[in-house]
Amino acid sequence: MVVPDFSYHRRDSVQDCTKSSQDSSAERKTFTYFFNGAIYLLSAYFAKNAVVMFIGSMNPAADVLALAKIEIKLTDIPEGRNMVFQWRGKPLFVRHRTQAEIDQVAKVPLSELRDPQHDMDRVKKPEWLVVLGICTHLGCVPISDAGDYGGYYCPCHGSHYDASGRIRKGPAPLNLEVPEHEFASEDLLIVG
């Protein structure tokens, strides 16, 4: 019986049968450690990329981000008028209030309001009111310049809002929502 000779495939450090394998263990383990380390690094890199791609897929699309902000030219809105814009798929009311409207809503006592809020807490500039045009009762769209208080009126169930968007009469529990907005200049409003 002939035993095959595999010495061609063996490392030089283990060719000598008289030496202990402990003498060459450092050299053999070094290769294994480097190889395993490289595999771990590659695995971590691919896992990181998979997590980043997964989390990135949850971000809003570019067309949604484009609708996240709206710029409104205030010179197009005459005093005493209300204009409706679409923002994030919802109606946005921007009202250029007269001094009489400002004075009228400023003198309303908080005790008369269902959802008490000062007018100055709802506006950044007294002459401009920015609210979402969605009734807080069941989500209908109110009509501007209507109702018992000269602000907004929801014809669906009869909610009356004043010129500050505060609920005054009817089933709506809350005031009209004021979205995040800022005045970039005297004639430019940015909502969002």
- pTM > 0.75: no
pLDDT digits (tens, 9 = 90+) for 122-147: 888 889 999 998 988 888 899 888 88
Q: Which amino acid would we find at residue 63?
A: D
Task: Establish whether 181 is a catalytic residue.
Answer: no
81 and 139 co-located in one domain: yes
181 and 139 co-located in one domain: yes
Q: Which domain holds residue 44?
A: 21-58
Evaluate whether residue 14 is within a structural domain. Answer: no
**How does residue 38 score in pLDDT terms, banded at 50, 70 and 90?**
very high
**Residue 67 has what pLDDT?**
67
Rounded CA-CA distance 79/89 in Å is 26
Evaluate whether residue 15 is within a structural domain. Answer: no
Q: Quick check: 177 pLDDT over 80? A: yes
**Residue 45 has what pLDDT?**
97
Q: Quick check: 23 pLDDT over 80? A: no
**Residue 65 has what pLDDT?**
66
> Encoding tokens for residue 176?
């009209």
148 and 95 co-located in one domain: yes
Evaluate whether residue 172 is within a structural domain. Answer: yes
Count of domains in the chain?
Answer: 2
Evaluate whether residue 2 is within a structural domain. Answer: no
pLDDT digits (tens, 9 = 90+) for 145-175: 888 888 889 988 889 998 888 998 889 899 9
Evaluate whether residue 7 is within a structural domain. Answer: no
32 and 121 co-located in one domain: no
> Encoding tokens for residue 96?
């250029």
Catalytic residue among 118, 137, 157, 160: 157
Q: Which of 103, 125, 124, 119 is nearest to 175 (CA)?
A: 119
DSSP line for 59-80: SPPHHHHHTT-EEEEGGGS-TT
**Category of 29 on φ-ψ map: left (φ > 0), alpha (ψ -120 to 50) or beta:** alpha
Residues 6 or more apart whose Cβ sits within 8 Å of residue 152 = 93, 133, 142, 143, 144, 146, 160, 161, 165, 176
**Residue 58 has what pLDDT?**
86
70 and 164 co-located in one domain: yes
136 and 109 co-located in one domain: yes
